[in-house]
Chains A and B, each alone.
Chain A
Amino acid sequence: AHDFRRKSDDSEDTELRFITCQSLWNQIKSETEEIQEDLNKQLLDNLLNFLSRSHSEFQEKTTEWTCKMKFREIPTAALVLGVNVTDHDLTFRGLSDILQDSITPYIALLEAKDCPGIKNLMQKLMGQLMNCDIDVDTLEDEDCVQVSQNRIRCSMSSLISWYESVTKKTDSETPSKKRNSSSRHWKSPPVVVIFKDMESFTTKVLQDFIVISSQHIHELPLVLIFGIATSPMIIHRLLPHSVSSLLCIELFQSISCKEHLSTIIDKLLLTSRFPFKLGEKVLQVLINIFLYHDFSVQNFIKGFQLCIVEHFYSQPLSVLCCQLVDVKKRVISLSHEQCENIRRLPSFRRYVEKQEAGKQIALLTNDTFLKEDTERLLEDLHVYHENYVSILRCLHVFTSSLPKYPLGKQIRELHCACLENRVWETEEYESSLQLARMLNKTDLVTMLQQCVEILTSSSGKQFHKTVEKLKEFLTQFQNLEAEASQERDVSVLSQKELQKKTDLYHLQKTLLELKESRRSKKLTKFEMLRFEVVDYIDSLVRKYLVPADDRTLHEIMYFNAATVLRGHLNAAPRTALHTALNNPHWYLKNQALKCDGGSISNKAPDICIVYKLHLECGRLINLVDWLEAFSTVVTAAEEPNAVAASSDQMDDIIHARFIRAVSELELLGFIKPSKQKTDHVARLTWGGC
């Protein structure tokens, strides 16, 4: 219902843009969810394995289990998830879903903030367990359970009796009735208790819970899962030995958030599947927020979503930011206004200037001609993307193995560098080429093989020749090996001669001779070939990794408003306040406010003057002095035009204005009333000017 419409007419395809935006976002969202699932699959499988193992023994009542139970150990999975707390929810949700599906219906998710004491913890635990009971047992006896839940005394024994009754019910019921729900589960499924944020629980609560439940592990097959954000050491720091010895801990490590991000970038940005692209600065902002603020992949995706929305909202031509198959249709249906929009694009203007005069006129006046050309240009852009990604990956194969990573270790860094400007003009690129020229043969061969793989699997069609060429290099390297053995004989021979000379004079002489010969000597065949390979890669880079800003019509696909994004995601409210108070001219474009060099005019808004005055004070501010200073400033500012007003009334007004300004500062948190001295306020900030 709510789209980008600002005006009533639809000349800028707002509706279509909105639909495109939504479908694109939905695609990307499902893609990210898939990625997350894939990445967590390993972890979840391991966990499932562990859970079913820990409980199968209880199932069979084997001696092993009983023997283990003599020590009253609770099987525990320590799940190290990393510091990106915001992403954990998704993992846990996935975990509990998958557990519900395959192992047990009895899952309780506990959070520290709900469990300040052991009583609350038990309450929460039983509430969740019994609720899920209702879900399984259809709704026939909802009332009785509901009532009992409220009345039941929350103790371990009531929990056990509940568990017994539940499992017995499952046993006694006819298999046909229960098949649909519990056939997936074992007869007496384990009770899984997940502590989402183990670090935030109070030690006492955890300890008590573990000790109590270890007493009852015979009757209740409990399994604990600790979600850990820091390091597994925390378990031993939180729990004394006597308690932690009651746990049989197995460690599980989730995928690191950096890897997760790399996969996301790889799948969402470095692909030609999605027409929408991020500009260099925007990507940089998103990555920086990730690396320096939260490590949260969720937030990264949120930022990405915002980029999409902003792009489609603010760029009328983004209607053309769609799959290649739709482009033709959409270009043809462009309105005249949209054509004008195209003509206004800076990159298109540059393009027009390069054309000859006749074509220039046609482009600027004839809409149909323009549309044809636009379509062609957009196709070019798509081809460019396909090639770009493949070559970027090839280049990354080379740069990622160089010492010190002059172009960055991650492909995202390389991507940023390529987007920013012509990468081959940068110093880092130069040095990485130099380093590449020193690679040894085995490395070089494996890299070339990787490149061939990348290029053959890519969708771009004009890589036939490139692949051929690379393969040729590979065969040449192989031939070299055969030649090398022959060459060695020759060199050994010449060296033999040298070995005879022993005295210093002769040595010197030979050295000089050798130097001469070296200077003129050709490089070995391998070196020549290596140069050739590197030069070839260089030529590929120059051809395909042109920064997107140089491409015509890049504005349609690329979102570049980094400042907007930064303002919305990573705002600095304090800075805005600071600017407003110190430099009101920034916002209020009035000449009277214009001032330079840190000071402000005395005509500034009251709050600015009061603020400026209070900066001059120490910890406490005398209100009388403050008021006096304020009225001095204000009367000076108003004197010329306020002679007529009676001074008494003026004074009251100034007094009132002062009160208002001071209470505003109090609201903003700069001062607070102080009891230390009468009629004083305390400063709360330490910022001065």
Chain B
Amino acid sequence: MSGPEGTRSGRRSLQVKFVPDEEVLRHITDDSGTKVRKDKAQLSVSVKRFVKKLEDISDNEAQEILGEKNYVAALGICAQDPVGNGANISGGEVYSFQTPKRSSKMAELASELAQTPEKDVVPDHSKCPEKMAKTPQSSSNFMWAEIVWKCNLKKKEFLSTTPYRLRKRLAAPDPCLESESEYSASCSEEEDEEDQKEVSTALSGQKTPGQTKQTKAASTPPPRNSLVKKTKEEKMGNLVEEYFEAHSSSKVLTSDRTLQKLRKRRLNQQTLRDLLKKAPLAYAAEIRDLNKQHESLFSKWMLQLHLGFNIVLYGLGSKRDLLEKFRTSLLQDSVHLVVNGYFPSITVRSILNSITEEVLDYLGTFRSPLDQLEFIIKRFKEDSSLELYVLIHNLDSQMLRGERSQQILAQLSSLPSIYLIASIDHINAPLMWDQAKLSLYNWLWYETTTFSPYVEETSYENSLLVQQSGSLALSSLMHVLHSLTLNARGIFRLLAQHQLEKKDNPSYPGLSFQDFYQQCREAFLVNSDLTLRAQLTEFRDHKLIRTKRGADGVEYLLIPVDDSTLTHFLEKENEDV
């Protein structure tokens, strides 16, 4: 500690080799100097560290940390005062991965839901011990699964404890089935199979990693500390695995029943509509209240439209009536254009055409929609007295959701004297717009959940269950055919008849060219291979037939029209001939 006396004069130089007292002293006293005030400044220690590390912490980082905190706080705002919309739901709930589901799950849920009024079904654990092993992920699922499981058991065994109503439903003849016995046989068989598979998979621990891991964890609990960590890892791992599991198996785990087995015919649009008219609208009063709320906003919309904003409506339920009401109540005296976006053949071009022709009274044609748009923009800029309200139902419909259409509509809406009010329904509709388009649209979002049925919007959809009347296809067929020669019509009829004969064969590839040629020759319709080919080319140009090559290189001919339309067509043809 003590250094030679002689070197004391040069305190600084001593620092290297010796540590003289005063140096130590100064060091210590300095430190205590700050400590004196430490009681006042609890933070001074950390402050010192901050000062030291100041270079390390870049400004941005610090700011970012603060910003993040703020953002979370601001997000919390919604949770604090839930006004109007249901924005207080975390994204995780909406966008979570799906857990692998069993095929019979839906039926189970259904019977569970059906039972909700009487909630006295207490799951009896001791009764089905092997079921306990498979604990589904969420508690609600668990409840359903278990209760339903019991129902299934009961169903199979027809236990006397089955609730009366359930039994009645099971026993009652189901009118939508071909025959009761057939159904119950096939159904229970199916379920039996399903159940057995379930049990075996659950026991062998192969089906869902989440389930098996849970059971494992239950049997051999690892040390507490690692458990937490592990479950976290597992959770992540599970998510990933679940995702790939859901996507990897090409095998479809659903029952094979088809609608054709049901006696019920496919309804056509008209009967569907009639039937729905008979069904009373549920919660009409509440829906009316909702609509009243939205209607009170009309004047505000009007104001905001005039201030340069455009309005977009979202939320469950058809917003068509609401917009219609807006139109009738406020836009009667002004020029407005209603675009039914859900109409399957609407195009941007037709929208632009109606603006130029009906609003601007210009009958010229344009080379491209962009030219047309430019013309419209020019006209609206020149004449400031021009004002146009554009109402678009379903801005996110199939036909309008394309990038180019949206670009054009956005540019249109950015004109100060065009006021756009639109509705969107698709869950991914906001993805249509990038920043540039959003700034052109200048949207104000309004949540207008109406719960009203999408009557108009879905009526054009090629719905799975609705039988398409095919009247359009039929008339076009007739139209084209009438302009052809008699021989050509004969050729087509031959093909159609052949196709109808084979209609029960789902793997019917079409009629091969050689066979067709043979038949045509026999019917004295063509005299050479070439004439038939020429005729077929004509059909193909009118999209009456489709050709495709089979695996063996043979050309197969097919009429791309559904069977019923074809039958109608043949009937009509026979009348004519």
Residues of A with Cβ closer than 8 Å to B?
A: 1-6, 85-86, 113-114, 281, 284-285, 287-288, 291-292, 294, 296, 298-299, 302, 305-306, 309, 313, 403-405, 408-410, 413, 416, 431, 434-435, 437-438, 495, 498-499, 501-504, 506-507, 510-511, 514-515, 518-519, 562-564, 566-581, 583-584, 586-590, 593, 597-603, 605-607, 609, 612-614, 616-626, 628-633, 635-637, 639, 647-649, 651-653, 655-660, 662-664, 666-670, 673, 676-681, 683, 685-689
B66 touches A659 (CB 8 A): no
Contacts of B428 in A (CB 8 A): 669
A interface footprint on B58-89 (CB within 8 Å = 1, 0 otherwise): 01001100110011011001100101111101
Interchain nearest-CB distance for A18 vs B (Å): 8
Contacts of B453 in A (CB 8 A): 660, 664
Choice from B43, B424, B464 contacting A662 with Cβ under 8 Å: B464
Q: Which residues of chain B from 255 to 293 have any CB-CB distance to chain A below 8 Å in the complex?
A: 255-262, 264, 267, 271-272, 275-276, 278-279, 282-283, 286-287, 289-290
B73 touches A284 (CB 8 A): yes
Contacts of A519 in B (CB 8 A): 36
Interchain nearest-CB distance for A144 vs B (Å): 21
Choice from A114, A281, A410, A587 contacting B74 with Cβ under 8 Å: A281
A553, B341: Cα distance in complex, Å: 48
A589 touches B286 (CB 8 A): yes
New A-B pairs, 12, CB < 8 Å, besides A313-B300, A507-B1, A618-B254: A86-B438, A309-B304, A410-B63, A499-B8, A575-B87, A575-B89, A587-B290, A623-B259, A635-B169, A667-B426, A686-B246, A689-B138
B50 touches A633 (CB 8 A): no
Contacts of B22 in A (CB 8 A): 495, 498-499
A625 and B107 contact, Cβ closer than 8 Å, known pairs A574-B94, A653-B279: yes
A685, B278: Cα distance in complex, Å: 32
Answer whether residue B13 sits at the interface, using C-beta atoms and an 8 A cutoff: no
A639, B138: Cα distance in complex, Å: 30
Choice from A503, A567, A624, A629 contacting B262 with Cβ under 8 Å: A624
Contacts of B435 in A (CB 8 A): 85-86, 294, 296
A199, B259: Cα distance in complex, Å: 52
Interchain nearest-CB distance for B37 vs A (Å): 8
Contacts of A617 in B (CB 8 A): 101, 103, 105-106, 254
A653, B91: Cα distance in complex, Å: 36
Q: Which residues of chain B from 231 to 269 have any CB-CB distance to chain A below 8 Å in the complex?
A: 243, 246-247, 252-262, 264, 267
A511 touches B140 (CB 8 A): no
A657, B115: Cα distance in complex, Å: 20
Answer whether residue B476 sits at the interface, using C-beta atoms and an 8 A cutoff: no
A651 touches B461 (CB 8 A): no
7 CB < 8 A contacts A-B: A284-B74, A587-B286, A613-B109, A636-B169, A655-B264, A662-B463, A667-B458
Interchain nearest-CB distance for A5 vs B (Å): 8
Interchain nearest-CB distance for B521 vs A (Å): 36
Contacts of A655 in B (CB 8 A): 176, 264, 267, 275
Choice from B71, B73, B91 contacting A292 with Cβ under 8 Å: B71
B283 touches A616 (CB 8 A): no
A502, B436: Cα distance in complex, Å: 77
Contacts of B219 in A (CB 8 A): none
Contacts of B243 in A (CB 8 A): 686
Contacts of B78 in A (CB 8 A): 563, 566
Choice from B299, B427, B465 contacting A577 with Cβ under 8 Å: B427
Contacts of A619 in B (CB 8 A): 246-247, 252
Measured CB to CB, the nearest residue on chain B to A407 is: B66
Measured CB to CB, the nearest residue on chain A to B36 is: A518
Answer whether residue B447 sits at the interface, using C-beta atoms and an 8 A cutoff: yes
Interchain nearest-CB distance for B104 vs A (Å): 8
Interchain nearest-CB distance for B182 vs A (Å): 14
A interface footprint on B150-179 (CB within 8 Å = 1, 0 otherwise): 000000000000000100010000011000
A1, B307: Cα distance in complex, Å: 11
A656 touches B272 (CB 8 A): yes
Contacts of A618 in B (CB 8 A): 98, 100-101, 103, 246, 252-254
Top 6 A-B pairs, shortest CB-CB distance = A579-B86, A636-B114, A629-B110, A571-B445, A580-B316, A656-B275
A interface footprint on B446-463 (CB within 8 Å = 1, 0 otherwise): 110101011001100111
Contacts of A506 in B (CB 8 A): 21
Choice from B105, B113, B342 contacting A602 with Cβ under 8 Å: B113
Choice from B21, B71, B260, B458 contacting A498 with Cβ under 8 Å: B21
Interchain nearest-CB distance for B253 vs A (Å): 6
Residues of B with Cβ closer than 8 Å to A?
A: 1-2, 5, 8, 20-22, 24-25, 28-29, 32-33, 36, 40-44, 47, 50-51, 54, 57, 59, 62-63, 66-67, 70-71, 73-74, 77-78, 81, 83-87, 89, 91, 93-101, 103, 105-111, 113-117, 138, 140, 165, 169, 175-176, 243, 246-247, 252-262, 264, 267, 271-272, 275-276, 278-279, 282-283, 286-287, 289-290, 299-300, 302-304, 306-307, 309, 314-317, 342, 370, 407, 424-430, 435-436, 438-439, 442, 444-447, 449, 451, 453-454, 457-458, 461-466
Contacts of B62 in A (CB 8 A): 404-405, 409
Measured CB to CB, the nearest residue on chain A to B448 is: A576
A431 and B429 contact, Cβ closer than 8 Å, known pairs A507-B25, A652-B275, A680-B254: no
Contacts of A589 in B (CB 8 A): 286, 289
A612 and B113 contact, Cβ closer than 8 Å, known pairs A573-B424, A622-B255: yes
A677, B506: Cα distance in complex, Å: 12
B84 touches A613 (CB 8 A): no
Contacts of B114 in A (CB 8 A): 602, 632-633, 635-637
Measured CB to CB, the nearest residue on chain A to B463 is: A663
A567 touches B445 (CB 8 A): yes
Q: How many interface contacts (CB-CB < 8 Å) are there between A and B?
A: 405
A653 touches B275 (CB 8 A): yes
Interchain nearest-CB distance for B221 vs A (Å): 28
A345, B410: Cα distance in complex, Å: 42
B445 touches A568 (CB 8 A): yes
Interchain nearest-CB distance for B307 vs A (Å): 6
Measured CB to CB, the nearest residue on chain B to A3 is: B303
Measured CB to CB, the nearest residue on chain B to A408 is: B66
Interchain nearest-CB distance for B285 vs A (Å): 8
Contacts of B63 in A (CB 8 A): 405, 408-410
A629 touches B109 (CB 8 A): yes
B43 touches A434 (CB 8 A): yes
A438 touches B445 (CB 8 A): no
A688 touches B96 (CB 8 A): yes
Measured CB to CB, the nearest residue on chain A to B107 is: A629
Contacts of B316 in A (CB 8 A): 576-577, 580-581, 607, 668
A679 and B259 contact, Cβ closer than 8 Å, known pairs A618-B253, A669-B428, A688-B99: yes
B98 touches A687 (CB 8 A): yes
A571 and B314 contact, Cβ closer than 8 Å, known pairs A292-B71, A518-B33, A662-B464: yes
Interchain nearest-CB distance for B504 vs A (Å): 14
A404 and B113 contact, Cβ closer than 8 Å, known pairs A568-B444, A573-B424, A651-B175: no
A689 and B447 contact, Cβ closer than 8 Å, known pairs A281-B74, A519-B36, A606-B282: no
Choice from B28, B57, B451 contacting A588 with Cβ under 8 Å: B451
Contacts of B272 in A (CB 8 A): 656, 659-660
Contacts of B24 in A (CB 8 A): 507
B169 touches A632 (CB 8 A): yes
Contacts of A583 in B (CB 8 A): 86
Choice from B59, B94, B252 contacting A677 with Cβ under 8 Å: B252
A676, B250: Cα distance in complex, Å: 10
Measured CB to CB, the nearest residue on chain A to B367 is: A150
A497, B428: Cα distance in complex, Å: 82
Contacts of A302 in B (CB 8 A): 442
Contacts of A313 in B (CB 8 A): 300, 303
Choice from B73, B106, B447 contacting A571 with Cβ under 8 Å: B447
A281 touches B77 (CB 8 A): yes
Measured CB to CB, the nearest residue on chain B to A604 is: B282
Contacts of A510 in B (CB 8 A): 25
